Amino acid sequence: MAVSAVAVVLLPLVAGCGGGHDDSGPGAKDTKATAGQRGGGKTAGKGSGAFPDKGVVITALCSVPASKPASVTVMGWNPTTWERTVSRTFTVPAEAVVAEADGVASPLVELCADNFPGAGTSEDGPRAVAATRLRQLFDEDFSRMAVVLIDRETEATGVGYVDTSGKLTKLSAEQGDDFGDTPREENAVFARNGSAVWFTETDSSDHVRIASRSVAGDHAVTEQAGGDGDYMDGAALALAGDPVRGLFGKEVRISPDGRRATAFITWQGYNVLDVPQRSALLKAKGVEATGIPAGADCYPYGWVDGRTVLCGSRLGEAKDPKRKNSFWTLDASRLDGTADLPKGALGGPIIPATDRRNTVRAIAQDGKQMIFASLQGTRLDFFASAIAPGATPKKITAAGAGRALGLGDVLEWR
C-alpha cells in the first residue's frame, strides 16, 4: 500500500505531459524563449532567458547543416505542459571538433553523433539519460560551452569555450617552435561554477594527465593527476565533488552529492566507487572500486540518491522474467566487494514486465520520478513513473513531449 501511495502523489507532477509530435525546430520562434541571453531572473517564460532552479527538463540538440556552422541548442521544457520555456543556441566554431572523423575525444562529438532531425531514435529507441560528461559541457547557467579545438594542418588540439554570442575564447597556448610531441588536449568539460575548463592530455607514451585551465585572464594550468592510459580507449572525463576532482573512465555517472560514481572498468565490468581525494584514472588496479555483482544484472542509468543506483538489464534481456524490460534500484552501500549479491541490496521491479523496449530518458533531481521511452514495434511513446517497486507508468500525452524527449540528450531534470 505504501508503494501505491507514493505513485499517486508523485505522478500528477507530470500528468498530461505528452508523446505527440511538434514540428518546430530548435531555432523556431518561441515567444516564451529568449535565445542567446545571459543572466536575468530565475523564472522562465518572462523573457529573461534564464533556466529556472526547478520544474524544468533541460535538453540539448546538435545540428550540423551542410552549408552553415554547426550549432547546439539547449532548451528548457515545462514537465507538465511540455511547452518550451527557454532556449539558448551556441554556434560551434569552425575549428571545434564535432565529428568522430577527427579522431579526437570530446563530449561534443558524442552530443552531435546522432542528433540530426530524424536520427535520434534507433531500432532500440532514444539514447539513455545523458552521462555526466554531457551535462558538464556547459557551466552552471548554460551561458558557456566547452570545446576542443583542432589545428587542421598540424592536428594539434587545445581547449576553449564559446558563449551564446558566438565569441570563442581559446585557453590553450599556440604551438611553439620546439621539437616536441603534438599537443593533444581532449575531453573538455566545464567546472560547474564556470571557473575553469578541465581536460585530458595524452603524450606519445600513452600517459594521460588530467588538468584544468582557468578561464581568468592568466589561463593558468593546474595538473590534477596522471597515469598510464593503456586499455582506456573510449574513456572520457567527468567532474565530481567539491573541491572538484576529475575522473577519467568509461560510462562515468556521478551521484547527486558528488561523493560516489559508477563506471565501466576494463577487465572488471561495472563498478561503484567512492570519489577519491584526488583526480584519478578509473582502470583496473588504478583505483579502489567495488564490482557490481552479476546477480544484480545492473546497467547503471544513474543515481537516485547518494547511495542508490537506478538499473536496467546489463545485457538487454533480464534473467528474471519479472524484470523483463523493467527497471530496479541497487543499494550500492550494501555491496561488500564479493561476487555475491547482498540480501536486500536489489529493489523489486519498478514497472511491469513487458515485451516493449524501454530506456530511461530522465531522472528527477529529487530521485523520486523518472521518464522513460518505450518502443513498441516502430511506435515510440514516453511514460512517467515513480521510482518505486510496483509503480504504475503514466503515458505522457502532451503534444510537445515528442519534440522534447524524442531527439537530442536530456541533460538535467530539476
pLDDT tens-digit profile of 138-185?
A: 999 999 999 999 998 999 999 999 999 999 999 987 766 666 778 999
pTM for the model: 0.85
User: What is the average per-residue pLDDT within 224-231?
Assistant: 82
Contact 393, 385 (CB under 8 A): yes
**Using omega within 30 degrees of 0 as the cis cutoff, is the peptide bond preceding 300 cis?**
no
* pLDDT for position 10: 37
* Span 293-346, pLDDT tens digits: 999 999 999 999 999 999 999 887 788 999 999 999 999 999 999 999 999 999
* pLDDT for position 5: 34
* 27 has a pLDDT exceeding 50: no
* pLDDT for position 42: 39
* 358 has a pLDDT exceeding 90: yes
pLDDT > 90: percent of the chain: 69
* 26 has a pLDDT exceeding 80: no
* 274 has a pLDDT exceeding 90: yes
* pLDDT for position 226: 80
With cut-offs at 50, 70 and 90, classify the pLDDT of residue 125.
low
* 31 has a pLDDT exceeding 60: no
The Cα–Cα gap between 45 and 33 comes to: 7
120/188: higher pLDDT: 188
* Span 232-267, pLDDT tens digits: 889 999 999 999 999 999 999 999 999 999 999 999
* pLDDT for position 23: 38
Residue 9 has a CB neighbour count (10 Å cut-off) of: 11
With cut-offs at 50, 70 and 90, classify the pLDDT of residue 24.
very low
Q: Is 119 exposed, middle or buried (0-12, 13-18, 19+ CB in 10 A)?
A: exposed
* 348 has a pLDDT exceeding 50: yes
* pLDDT for position 20: 39
381/8: higher pLDDT: 381
The Cα–Cα gap between 70 and 308 comes to: 38
Fold of 14-19+54-413: Methylamine Dehydrogenase; Chain H (2.130.10)
User: What is the average per-residue pLDDT within 124-135?
Assistant: 86
Q: Which of 26-40, 160-174, 224-238, 349-363 has the lowest mean pLDDT?
A: 26-40
* pLDDT for position 47: 33
* Span 39-90, pLDDT tens digits: 333 333 333 479 999 999 999 999 988 788 999 999 999 999 999 999 999 9
Residue that the C-alpha cell 509503480 belongs to: 391
* pLDDT for position 57: 97
Which has the closest alpha carbon to 82: 410, 384, 400, 402? 400
The Cα–Cα gap between 262 and 195 comes to: 26
* pLDDT for position 414: 94
* pLDDT for position 66: 79
Q: Which of 27-31, 81-85, 389-393 has the lowest mean pLDDT?
A: 27-31
Domain spans of the chain, in order of start:
14-19+54-413
* pLDDT for position 124: 61
Residue 163 has a CB neighbour count (10 Å cut-off) of: 17
Which has the closest alpha carbon to 370: 312, 293, 296? 312
* pLDDT for position 21: 39
The Cα–Cα gap between 70 and 50 comes to: 23
* pLDDT for position 176: 60
302 CB contacts (<8 Å, ≥6 apart)? 129, 253, 309, 310, 360, 363
